[in-house]
Amino acid sequence: MLDPAAIMTSIGEVPYAWSIGDDALTWGRNATEVLMTDPAAISSGRSYAKMLAADAATSRFDAIMNSSRHDEGAGVPYQVQYALHPPGAKKPLWIEDIGRWFAGADGKPAHAHGTVRMINEPHDQEERLTYLSHFDHLTGEMNRTSLTESLETTLRQTVARRASCGFMLVAIDNLARINESYGFDIADEAINAVAKRLRAKMRGGDQLGRFSGNKFGIILNDCTLEDMERAAERQVAGVRDDVILTEAGPVGVTVTVGGVAAPRYASNVPEILARAQETLDRAKARRPGSFQVYRPNVEREALRRQNVQAADEIVTALNQRRILLAFEPVVATPSREIAFYECLMRIRRVDGSLVPASAAIPVAERLGLERLLDHRVLELLVAEMAAVPSLHASVNVAPVSTTDPDWWSALDALLRANPGVGERLIVEITESAAIHDIDDTRGFVSRVKDLGCRIAIDDFGSGYTSFRNLRKLGVDILKIDGAFIQRLMQSDDDRAFAQALIELAKRLGLKTVAEWVQDEATADALTQWGCDYLQGALIGLAAVDRPWGNTVPVDRRRKPRI
């Protein structure tokens, strides 16, 4: 036999009937177990309403009496949520009240019936999610979203009052080292302790939030530059002066602070965050555990504007396919016949003029756009080599691309789709990139050679690659840095270096290319020493689009990397 009362009790539901006219409220016999109160104490709508939480937005009475619908004979449904405070209960009970009311002869609500259901667990979960959407789970401070919203509000109010506010980014120094030495749990203890120390040193009315993993943001109301400097001093000293006691033992922690005054030096939130981060970076570079306050710098602002303009120009050129190739010939010695071409990059502006790589590449490096340029240049070069079966060419690859799986996938797919190109393609990496991580570079060289390509080290001599590492890398070609070649006939040291390097390369079975060859005397000396290939102004300048196209000068002040 079914026991409806037991079933409803198990799922936390109680049925009821309410006669609105005389306010009589009748409950199911399981009301005591679910609502934790005597049904006699809530035998009327009025007595039940007395148990409602003071901040309950809507009650059952409201849901029924304020309904805009009319009873057509089948009743009108309602659903409402509220909190009850039964006598003696330690915390409120969250209730979902679902029912249907029926009208009397006058069309107004006369009686209702339904069920109340306990929803404490779903409500607690919802409250938890709401909390986490505004606060950091580790420190209990505002999260980045709430911090940014509060900063927006503070700035708006400050501007309206014609006052001044401040924002500081506080970074925990060497948090990664704490993670490595003690583990993430201890690092979390350190983060939590820093948050408490920062809050302890704050003025009343200022606001604290966790900005990112190792950074906190502090909003300072009614704050001058001098106020901010004093606040930063308090924060730096407050964190530094005492070690943090953790389960692993005492840990010494310092913080670095960068701050900006608004609206004096930043008129909106993105500017505030950018300038606070910029100032923090400068403080870290100068000395960890220090602080700096943002002050305008005409040269720095001009450079930023130039960077933004150049970045926009690069991205637009990529989108509009205005990235071009230029080919600089490399000839064999002593025949002077073209052995291959070095592929260089050019950007054509909307007006038709060309942006040299020497102008584009440094900006691309700073703004993380090198990878995109490498992808486009690789696509263009492989297409050109597929169209011209006699073309042998080399292409420079930025260090970031050597560890980029997308670049590897693109290279593999392009070479598979164009058989015969791989054995005619030379991939150039700089010596500085090669020595950064020898093992990674060896892996890169191995994968490129597996695809049929050859590998060259560009600008060799500008770094500090040992002969042992040179042998371990397994490259095919050494390109001698042009800085040693351009004054070869005037410098005994340069002649000694170039001659020794060519001899070493022979013994290691490597081909050599001399860059920046500008006169016949230099070419003759290199030929006598056994250099395999020559490249430079004496041989020929770069040709845009195709080797047989129009030529444009190559910027010799800074050799293009692409």
C-alpha closest to that of 168 among 213, 229, 237: 229
Q: Which tokens belong to 495? A: 């002649």
d(CA 211, CA 254): 17
How many residues does the structure list for the chain? 562
d(CA 498, CA 522): 11
Residue 352 burial (C-beta neighbours within 10 Å; 0-12, 13-18, 19+): exposed
Residue 490 burial (C-beta neighbours within 10 Å; 0-12, 13-18, 19+): exposed
Per residue of the chain (562 residues), what is the pLDDT tens digit? 566 767 777 778 999 999 998 999 999 888 888 887 888 888 999 998 888 887 666 889 989 998 889 999 899 999 998 888 877 767 788 888 999 999 998 999 999 999 998 887 766 666 666 666 778 888 889 899 899 999 999 999 999 999 999 999 999 998 888 888 888 889 999 999 999 999 999 988 899 999 998 999 999 999 888 899 999 999 999 999 888 888 888 898 999 999 999 999 999 999 999 999 999 999 999 999 999 999 887 677 776 777 777 777 788 888 888 888 889 999 999 899 999 999 988 888 888 888 777 777 777 877 778 888 899 999 999 999 999 999 999 999 988 888 888 888 899 999 999 999 999 999 998 876 666 667 778 888 888 999 999 999 888 876 555 566 677 788 899 999 899 999 999 999 999 999 999 998 998 899 999 999 999 999 999 999 999 999 999 998 877 756 654 444 444 333 333 3
Determine the Cα angle at 21 with ends 18 and 25, to 5°: 25
CA quadruple 520, 524, 525, 527: dihedral sign: positive
Domains parsed from the chain with CATH numbers: 4-126 (3.30.450.20), 138-296 (3.30.70.270), 320-544 (3.20.20.450)
Determine the Cα angle at 376 with ends 561 and 382, to 5°: 90
DSSP letter (8 states) at residue 456? E
> What is the number of other CB atoms lying within 10 angstroms of the CB of residue 18?
25
Q: Is the pTM of this model over 0.85?
A: no
Q: Which tokens belong to 38? A: 């005597």
Q: 317: Cβ–Cβ under 8 A, 6 or more apart, which residues?
A: 323, 347, 348, 349, 355
**Maximum distance among all alpha carbons in the chain?**
117
DSSP letter (8 states) at residue 142? B
Phi/psi of residue 459, nearest 5 degrees: 55, 35
**Bridge partners of residue 111, in order along the sequence:** 19, 102
d(CA 299, CA 321): 32
DSSP symbols for 174-234: THHHHHHHH-HHHHHHHHHHHHHHHHHTSPTT-EEEEEETTEEEEEESS--HHHHHHHHHH
Q: Residue 218: its pLDDT value, please?
A: 96
Q: 404: Cβ–Cβ under 8 A, 6 or more apart, which residues?
A: 371, 374
Cβ 67 vs Cβ 99: under 8 Å: no
Q: Which residue has the tokens 């170039």?
A: 498
Residue 311 burial (C-beta neighbours within 10 Å; 0-12, 13-18, 19+): middle
